[in-house]
A and B are shown apart, each in its own frame.
Chain A
């Protein structure tokens, strides 16, 4: 029966091709369609205009996350336009029989935090959402990618997508991470190396000792930012770490079905002789806590490394882009960013708002105070994360330090809900994009890990978190 050696990606892809006409894209079956308020209204309207309904409501799950407030009060405290959009999601879900975890619901959360928590995200699945960070779910060995609203409509109507097969790109991370260096630093280092468009057209496969050593939440952080290198999807082979996370979750298989599922999932990892279209290797032992200094996620460096100097670039376009970015950021080239004063620290987003992220941040906040003049916001990724953090007393640690403890949502990562920077403010943020104005018009974003963000909060400046670990610096 043994066919040609295949990668994890190829196995999942092959398993979901319903049909393919010569010269046309594949009709790819979608196992899970996640929906949120911002990218779905026009899709539901298009569906209704054709007289169609959602084909598989049981494979479609909705939440509210992008434009909701992170202060208590729910719909009563959002602006009229956002309220209309949220109400439209409610009515679209109700009329199509789609489960919605709305504001205040026990399972509400950022779509890429909620799906895995509920056990909706499973190895070998195809998963889509009108959101580019859908790549997060690849941490479970799923093929998961973001789509536009037209495609949201296609999936609602047919449970399928038209898709061309991407090429494969192995990112192998050998060795062990040093203390204080985390999953976020791996992915920021990779993007800095390959560039913000360097993986366009590929699906990434993260492999190697440092990847398999990550817990499932760290793997989600890595896969989450695949899109920031231009790759629509990133995948990690499922293993016992994956299975033990999934066991017992609400939508995970149970009983005999569980045993059958695990047996199936164990066949998913890439065959030993499978071939990648492209490969790159990183050495985990040489990685440092990473920060970004520019206006896209590829403009990153070690926290103690000098910020690159435009004068060192021979390509005129690259030089101009870096000059423009540094001017926007008000950052001087040639010296490290460590020591730069910060105004805001944002801990949250689909990249880093899970319980392990909050524990890491709390380990820095514990016994310390947010530096004078700094605003620190902690926004859990879901109601479940919030409950867990409160059960562990993490909320008390944050509040005692002087940080804000918020309701779950996308919040200042995308700045649609009023949580935003003022012009000129500099934030160290655990989110995923440092584009101009992303966290508020005129705001400046430095991307970093939860440890590095928390270190910035308590020192008031960009700081190597290793100086605060294990009791140092208290």
Chain B
């Protein structure tokens, strides 16, 4: 039984800015696309109702459609990113589009957990640092950031910021630990617990 867990160590990549607060998972991937039975193809539907015009063509004003967003792997968002529904389709869609990290001031709980399980790193930084990063991105549409999970830092230009990450999730991502595999190691304790409660 082999299972490849997602990994994240360091990433240097260009950014795309979506400076909005409270972006909910219904915007990330609208519910009408949740009738799938696999995880494939959701990247095409990412931010569907913001990203496409009525006639199905790209909305040129939407950040992900701009030329400088192509190839970007880090999304810069605002406060409380990923609120609402528990749908894991949200990180599947973000990863499907090509993103590896989201930088925000804060994240919704369930989204954060789902993202970590899919190798999409949620990077929460302080408002002042966030503002500086957004300003840098505003001046330089080709801005690159370097995220180092082990050091828990994000660097751009001459600046850097640190971010918190759950120690266990960090270990899983750095070492490629399979969480379900970890849980299955507790089978004996689970059996004992079930006996005790009978």
Q: Which residues of A are interface residues toward B (Cβ below 8 A)?
A: 18-19, 23-25, 27, 29, 38-39, 41-42, 45-46, 49-51, 66-67, 79, 81-82, 84-85, 88, 130-132, 146-151, 153-154, 157-160, 162, 164, 196-197, 200-201, 227-228, 230, 232, 296, 298, 317-318, 321, 324, 414-416, 433, 435-438, 441
Number of A-B contacts (CB under 8 A): 168
A157: which B residues are within 8 A, CB to CB?
Answer: 180, 183-184
**3 smallest A-B Cβ distances: which pairs?**
A197-B80, A148-B114, A148-B88
Q: How far is the CA of A146 from the CA of B114 in the complex (A)?
A: 11
CB distance from B51 to the nearest CB of A (A): 12
Q: How far is the CA of A414 from the CA of B88 in the complex (A)?
A: 16
The yes or no answer to B137 lying at the interface (CB within 8 A) is: no
Q: How far is the CA of A24 from the CA of B31 in the complex (A)?
A: 33
Of all chain B residues, the one with the shortest Cβ separation from A294 is B22
| B166 at the binding interface (Cβ < 8 Å) | yes
Offer 28 A-B interface pairs, CB within 8 angstroms, sorted by A.
Answer: A18-B193, A19-B189, A29-B190, A29-B193, A38-B35, A41-B36, A66-B34, A81-B35, A81-B36, A130-B86, A131-B86, A132-B85, A146-B110, A148-B87, A154-B183, A158-B180, A158-B183, A162-B179, A162-B183, A197-B106, A230-B80, A230-B83, A296-B24, A317-B79, A416-B31, A416-B35, A433-B26, A436-B27
Task: Give A61 to B116 CA distance when docked, in angstroms.
Answer: 27
Is the CB–CB distance between A18 and B108 below 8 Å? no
> Is there an interface contact between B88 and A18, defined as CB atoms closer than 8 Å?
no
| Chain B residues, Cβ within 8 Å of A50 | 1, 3, 180
B180 in contact with A197 (CB, 8 Å): no
Complex-state Cα separation, A317 to B32, whole angstroms: 29
Residue of B nearest to A129 (CB): B86
Residues of A within 8 A of B194 (CB): 29
Q: Which residues of A contact B166 (CB under 8 A)?
A: 25, 164
Does the CB pair B109–A296 fall under 8 Å?
Answer: no
With a CB–CB cut-off of 8 A, which chain B residues contact A151? Answer: 113, 117
CA gap between A232 and B84 in the complex, in Å: 10
Report the minimum CB–CB distance from A386 to chain B (whole Å).
23
Binding site for A on B (CB under 8 A): 1, 3, 20-22, 24, 26-27, 30-32, 34-39, 49, 78-80, 83-88, 106, 108-110, 113-114, 117-118, 166-168, 179-180, 182-184, 186-187, 189-190, 193-194
In the bound complex, do residue A158 and residue B49 qualify as a contact, i.e. CB atoms below 8 Å apart? no
Across the interface, do A197 and B34 meet the contact criterion of CB distance under 8 Å?
A: no
B37 contact from A27, A42, A153, Cβ within 8 A: A42
Which residues on B sit within 8 Å (CB–CB) of A51? Answer: 1
Complex Cα gap A317–B84 (Å): 20
Contact A230 B109 (CB under 8 A): yes
Whole-angstrom distance from the CB of A228 to the nearest CB of chain B?
8
Which single residue of chain B is at the shortest CB-CB distance from A298? B22
A36 to B193: give the CA distance in the assembly, Å. 27
- B186 contacts A85, CB within 8 Å? no
User: Could you say which residues of chain A place their CB within 8 Å of the CB of B80?
Assistant: 196-197, 200, 230
Q: B35 near A67 (CB under 8 angstroms)?
A: yes
Do A24 and B168 have beta carbons less than 8 Å apart? yes
Task: Kindly state the separation between the CA atoms of A41 and B37 in the bound complex, as whole angstroms.
Answer: 5
- Residue pair B110, A232 in contact (C-beta under 8 Å): yes
Q: Which residues of A contact B34 (CB under 8 A)?
A: 38, 66-67, 416
Cβ distance B15 to chain A, nearest Cβ, rounded Å: 19
- From B3, B24, B190, give the contact of A159 (CB < 8 A): B190
Closest to B30 in A: A437
What residues on B are CB-neighbors of A25 within 8 Å? 166, 168
Residue of A nearest to B19 (CB): A317
B183 A435 Cβ-Cβ under 8 A: no
Kindly provide the distance from the CB of A444 to the nearest chain B CB, expressed in whole angstroms: 13
**A158 to chain B: closest residue by CB:** B183
Cβ-defined contact, A150 with B117, below 8 A: yes
Chain A contacts for B179, CB-based, 8 A:
150, 154, 162
State whether A27 touches B189 (Cβ < 8 A): yes
Contacts of A49 in B (CB 8 A): 3
A131: which B residues are within 8 A, CB to CB? 85-86
Distance in angstroms between the alpha carbons of A17 and B98 in the assembled complex: 37
Interface centre among A23, A146, A149, A416 (most CB of B within 10 A): A149
B177 to chain A, nearest CB (A): 10
Distance between B66 CB and nearest chain A CB, rounded to angstroms = 19
A388 CB → nearest B CB, Å: 28
Q: How many angstroms between the C-alpha atoms of A132 and B168 in the bound complex?
A: 23
Chain A's closest residue to B54 (CB) is: A423
- CA–CA, A438 and B29, complex, Å: 11
Of chain B, the residue at the smallest CB distance from A31 is B197
Q: How far is the CB of B129 from chain A (nearest CB, A)?
A: 15
* Complexed CA–CA distance, A50 and B181 (Å): 10
Of the residues B1, B32, B36, B86, contact of A146 by C-beta under 8 Å: B86
Chain A neighbourhood of B87, CB < 8 A: 38-39, 148
CB-based contact A45/B186 at 8 Å: no
Q: Which of A158, A159, A321, A436 contacts B21 (CB 8 A)?
A: A321
